[in-house]
Amino acid sequence: MFTQIFFGYCALMIISSGILAISLRNPVHCVLMVLVLFFHMAGLYLTLNAEFLAAVQIIVYAGAILVLYLFVLFLVSLREELNLDAFVPSAWLGRIIAVGLAGGLLFVIPSFILGEKGVWSMSAIKELTHTKALGQEMYSTYLLPFEIAGLILLIALIGGLVLARREANIPLEPEAPEESQTCGHPNRKEVSL
Partner 1 sequence: MIPTVAINWAVVEPILPELLLIGIGVLLIGLDIFVPRQRQVLPWLTVVGCLTTLAMVVGSRPSVAFGGMFLVDGYAIVFKSTCLAGVILTTLMSEHFCRIIGLRQGEYYSLMVFSAVGMLMMASAGDLMVLYLGLELMALPIYALVGLHKTEQRTSEAAIKYFLMGSFASALLLFGMSLLYGLTGTTDIARIAELIATLHLGNNPALMAALALLIAGFCFKVAVAPFHLWTPDVYEGAPTVITAFMSVSPKVAGFAIFGRLLFLGLPELHEHWGPVLAVLALLTMAVGNITALCQRSLKRMLAYSAIAHAGYALLGLLAGTAEGLAATMTYLIIYLFMNMGAFGILMLLATPDQPHESLDDCKGLASRHPLAAAMMLVFLFSLTGIPPTGGFIGKFYLLKAAFSAGYTLTVIGAVLFSAISAYFYLRVVRYMYMSESQQTISCSFSPGMTAALGLCLLGVLGFGFFPGPLLDWTTAALAGM
Residues in touch with partner 1 (CB under 8 A): 84, 87, 104-105, 107-109, 111-118, 132, 136, 139-145, 148-149, 151-152, 154-156, 158-163, 167-168, 170, 172, 175, 181, 188, 190
As measured in angstroms, the least distance from the Cβ of 4 to partner 1 is 18
Q: Are 101 and 88 within 8 A, CB to CB?
A: no
CB atoms < 10 A from the CB of 142, how many?
A: 12
1 or 164, CB closer to partner 1?
Answer: 164
Give 19-69 as a 3 state SS string: HHHHHCCCHHHHHHHHHHHHHHHHHHHHHCCCHHHHHHHHHHHHHHHHHHH
As measured in angstroms, the least distance from the Cβ of 118 to partner 1 is 7
2 or 150, CB closer to partner 1?
Answer: 150
75 or 105, CB closer to partner 1?
Answer: 105
CA distance 69 to 30: 11
Q: Are 57 and 45 within 8 A, CB to CB?
A: yes
As measured in angstroms, the least distance from the Cβ of 142 to partner 1 is 7
As measured in angstroms, the least distance from the Cβ of 94 to partner 1 is 12
